[in-house]
Chain A
Amino acid sequence: MSNRKSKLVFGLVVLATITSVVLAGCGPTPVPTPTAGPTPTPKVITQVVTPTPAPITGKLFLNLGPGDVPTIDPALSTDTSSVQIVEETTVGLTRQHEETTATEPGIATEWKQSADGLKWTFKLRNDVTWVKYNTATGKVEQVLDKDKKPRVVTAKDFEYGVKRTLNPKTASDYAYVLNFFIKGGEAFNTADTKKLSEAELKKLEDAVGVKALDDFTIEFTTIEPTGFLPMVAGMWVAHAQPSWLIAEKGDRWTEAGFFQGYGPYTLKEWVHESSITIIANPFWPGTANIPKPKINEVTWYMLDDTPAMANYETGKQDAASVPLADIDRVKADPKLSKELKIAPILCTYYYGFNTKKKPMDNPKVRLAFSMAVDRVSLIKNVTKGDQEPAQWFSRPGLAGAPTLKDYPDLGVKFNAAKAKALLAEAGYPDGKGLPEITLMYNTHEGHKKIAEAIQQMWKTNLGVEVKVANQEWKVYLKTLQTDSPQIWRLGWCQDYPDANNFDKEVFRTDGHEYKATNWSNKKFDDLVDQAGRETDLKKRTELYAQAEKILVADDAAMIPIYWYTRVTLTKPYVKRTFSVLGGLEHIEKWEVAPH
């Protein structure tokens, strides 16, 4: 799930379900296929029903972390806070189960791969309609078309969505995910809009391998046989988007009052920098894995952990992640400790290097900085959430990711003496002669504490004074893409449960963080490409292990710090699921008892 904004915290649980799904999925396709979870039951839906909305009651108050949600436009979302809203207000063709990570039916009821493996066809439900919140009546209404009939979500809306994300004019930072798989995607997405005429651009757009065969059937054509496709096709960048609304309102279509969606919830109110509220969509048909919502309104505040915790303790919030400073107290408190849940999530907390800037252009310096971080002590004394010290990037538990059991010595571990020696070897004994170094993180109290502890570790273990700076999330993400500092902080959460989503999509040349690292290694690229094609799980894992060695040790392009857990408090009257997807909750499965 893209870049992780806030810091939650974790312990290792290898998700057995993932492994079994992967094994089961290895069919005739030449690519590892962690595809469909429960077999979708094809439903015969003959006509669009307009249900009379049954009253849904109850309110839920949560927190999304400090800073405004960057966007709720599916084409433009890149971070966990945006995706949380997007996934509740629109639904993909497929959807990940938030606890097992299995791919389940979304708007599509069934999908199949063609004999040559290059084409995927999805059958869509025909009972989902576009809705909007009417600010005047305070009710959620169906969007009507010219003939005053409810607009049904069709395959054309999905085709439009994918093409809009890929359109170079949309400038989506996440389009690359589709480029990797969809035929003609990269050519269209990277087209030079200034040089090409409208007609030429249209030609490229038409060549993109996404096509609505009829109102409720959509076909994807891939570059090579791709088992991942059902997962990728379910991602938010490929959600249906309202072409009529975007044509009319432009960028402002996501604002409250204009917004139209079709998920179990829709946008009610968005007070920028303060809170965002979604309201239950009574027209949502309710499917086996995406039920009708049971809570009418969900509000997320945009607070740092401490004020959110205060809200929780005074009853103004129904769930909260525990600030680092309060973990010991919560664990000792007889009442709060019962409401506490520490569980792993599929995310990795790391620091990256800008390998273009001195002195981080030297891999020895980078490795020295990585080895000087005492992850065990950091977790024990600062983060305190049973996280696992990370030795490499791809989170164990993902298909293809190495595990500590099989690869106990892979990657990087704390070694102060070796770090010091490496720095001397690089020509900076005891940090002498180093230029000014800046470590930057997005504004958040947890990140600050971690940064200060690591700043001191570098000072003690290497003799280097590092400057720390922070920026607000929205600004920070831009900084990373335009002029990233020597060392920067990010977290990465899975978009689909496979190491491919970590190693290849983030750190490969032209991957998601390429502009921030400026790091490119032919051997690494070849390894992750090869691993993507490999079908034997053991061989794949071995390939990823080799790639990880280059990434975190030989080239040391990043510092893996820890594998996340979430440390969450939930009021006893809330019946909920605990997502491992990294902050992406499926609220429609939650219930709130009267309290």
Chain B
Amino acid sequence: MAVQESAIGQTLERVKIKERKQASLWADALYRLLRNRAAVMGGLIAMGLILVAIFAPWIAPRDYATQILTDNNRMPSWLLNLFPSSKGYVQISEGYLLGADYVGRDLFSRIIYGTRVSLSVAFMGPLIALLVGTVYGTISGFFSGRVDNLMMRFVDIMYAFPTLLLIILLMAVFRSTTQATVPGTLRYTLTSIDARVGGMFFIYIGIGITAWMGMARLARGQILSLREKEFIEAARTIGAGNVRIMVRHILPNILGPLIVAETLAIPTYISYEAFLSFIGLGVNPPTPSWGSMIADGAMSLRSYPNQAIFPALALALTMFAFNFLGDGLRDAFDPRLRGTGK
């Protein structure tokens, strides 16, 4: 009897599950994401940052590059109350919300504009990775066999490039050189592009060269597990071609994990840029980058702590936001991974 009962119970439960409304993968993920408070916070902050970056000229009260030398190192009085040790030598000027830097540039405006630099790297990295890596990995995984073998060995080789060293090497070879002024050379072309994007070009290139491999491996792995599935077989039997299967049937199914992986990688890219700018290899002055602002501020940390603390706060906040958002997305797309860490 007992055995029978339990058997019946099981059947009933199975029926219940079948009856439950089948939510789509995406709607389900969104539902789970919205229930994760930290992720929502992170998402909101990330969105806010994007808006700040886009509307920087309207938000920033001053130009980021304009120096008013006579206003060097000023602070508003509220800030001075926060750092009372600076009293006695700091000149007070209420016109600067977070103070002015060593050549009299508004710190607040520079932090606002710095968002652009950080976010452009934050999105450029994943973009290149998604575009190149996904296509590469999909092709490799889908065709398998010798193609797969060759393509993946190439990835293995590329994996040997350490991103930061590669970027520093690129900078050393192409930038910081006096030959930048001879038109017609490769170096000239590259450095003039670099100058036009505020010194970010080699960071993009370096990340572009090294960031897609992880993505390619992930995509390939996903596809290997998908390609033997029944729905692919079904598509094939009704005569769908390779490209159609890849684009219509496989890609949508692997995109979730890929996006999660890239969101989680965003803080890494941001830290690359901040690190490079901190050691003076990033953006060209006067383009503001949080990294270079922290480096400048660190020089005057003992006298004007505000100059290092606020850009550092901005950087920390951004990293947290994207980390929480990434974590939330991972949990949302694949609840089985919850709490396992990546």
Chain A residues at the B interface, C-beta cutoff of 8 Å: 304-306, 309-310, 313, 323-326, 328-329, 331-332, 357-358, 377-378, 380-382, 435-438, 440, 443, 445, 449, 452-453, 455-456, 459, 467-471, 479, 483-486
Q: Specify the chain B residue showing the minimal Cβ separation from A305.
A: B299
13 contacts between A and B (CB under 8 A): A309-B302, A310-B302, A326-B300, A329-B303, A381-B70, A382-B103, A436-B181, A438-B180, A445-B299, A449-B103, A452-B286, A483-B178, A486-B181
8 A Cβ contacts from B251-305 to A: 280, 284-286, 298-304
Q: Is B65 an interface residue (CB 8 A)?
A: yes
In the complex, A355→B99 CA distance in Å? 41
| B70–chain A nearest beta-carbon distance, Å | 6
In the complex, A37→B117 CA distance in Å? 60
Cβ contacts under 8 Å, B284 to chain A: 467-468
Cβ contacts under 8 Å, A445 to chain B: 299
Q: How many A-B residue pairs have CB under 8 A?
A: 97
| B101–chain A nearest beta-carbon distance, Å | 10
8 A Cβ contacts from B65-80 to A: 65-67, 69-70, 72-73
B181 touches which one: A306, A435, A443 (CB < 8 A)?
A435
The answer to whether residues A436 and B192 also contact, given A306-B299, A325-B102, A453-B69 and a CB cut-off of 8 A, is yes
| B75–chain A nearest beta-carbon distance, Å | 12
Would you give the 0/1 interface string for B302-323, flagging 1 where the beta carbon is closer than 8 Å to chain A?
1110000000000000000000
In the complex, A310→B181 CA distance in Å? 40
B178 touches which one: A310, A332, A440, A453 (CB < 8 A)?
A440
Cβ contacts under 8 Å, B286 to chain A: 452, 455-456
Residues A325 and B299 in contact, CB atoms below 8 Å apart: yes
The answer to whether residues A469 and B103 also contact, given A323-B299, A331-B89, A443-B280 and a CB cut-off of 8 A, is no
Cβ contacts under 8 Å, A329 to chain B: 86, 89, 302-303
In the complex, A484→B178 CA distance in Å? 7
Q: Is B195 an interface residue (CB 8 A)?
A: yes
Residues B280 and A449 in contact, CB atoms below 8 Å apart: no
Residues A382 and B70 in contact, CB atoms below 8 Å apart: no
Residues A453 and B67 in contact, CB atoms below 8 Å apart: yes
In the complex, A486→B181 CA distance in Å? 9
Residues A332 and B88 in contact, CB atoms below 8 Å apart: yes
Residues A325 and B103 in contact, CB atoms below 8 Å apart: no
Residues A325 and B304 in contact, CB atoms below 8 Å apart: yes
Q: Specify the chain B residue showing the minimal Cβ separation from A465.
A: B195
Q: Specify the chain B residue showing the minimal Cβ separation from A329.
A: B303
Q: Is B110 an interface residue (CB 8 A)?
A: no
In the complex, A449→B297 CA distance in Å? 12
Cβ contacts under 8 Å, A453 to chain B: 67, 69, 103
Residues B181 and A483 in contact, CB atoms below 8 Å apart: no
Interface residues on B, range: 35 or more
Cβ contacts under 8 Å, A456 to chain B: 65-67, 103, 286
Cβ contacts under 8 Å, A437 to chain B: 181
In the complex, A471→B72 CA distance in Å? 26
**Top 8 closest A-B pairs, CB basis?**
A325-B300, A332-B89, A381-B69, A485-B178, A329-B303, A328-B89, A456-B67, A306-B299
In the complex, A438→B188 CA distance in Å? 12
Q: Specify the chain B residue showing the minimal Cβ separation from A484.
A: B178
Cβ contacts under 8 Å, B180 to chain A: 436, 438, 467
Cβ contacts under 8 Å, A485 to chain B: 178
| A26–chain B nearest beta-carbon distance, Å | 45
Residues A467 and B195 in contact, CB atoms below 8 Å apart: yes
Q: Is B104 an interface residue (CB 8 A)?
A: yes
| B96–chain A nearest beta-carbon distance, Å | 15
Cβ contacts under 8 Å, A435 to chain B: 181, 183
Residues B302 and A326 in contact, CB atoms below 8 Å apart: yes
In the complex, A350→B135 CA distance in Å? 55
| B83–chain A nearest beta-carbon distance, Å | 12
In the complex, A377→B71 CA distance in Å? 11
| B155–chain A nearest beta-carbon distance, Å | 35
Q: Is B220 an interface residue (CB 8 A)?
A: no
| A331–chain B nearest beta-carbon distance, Å | 7
Q: Is B179 an interface residue (CB 8 A)?
A: yes
Residues B72 and A382 in contact, CB atoms below 8 Å apart: yes
Q: Is B176 an interface residue (CB 8 A)?
A: yes
Cβ contacts under 8 Å, A328 to chain B: 73, 89-90, 303
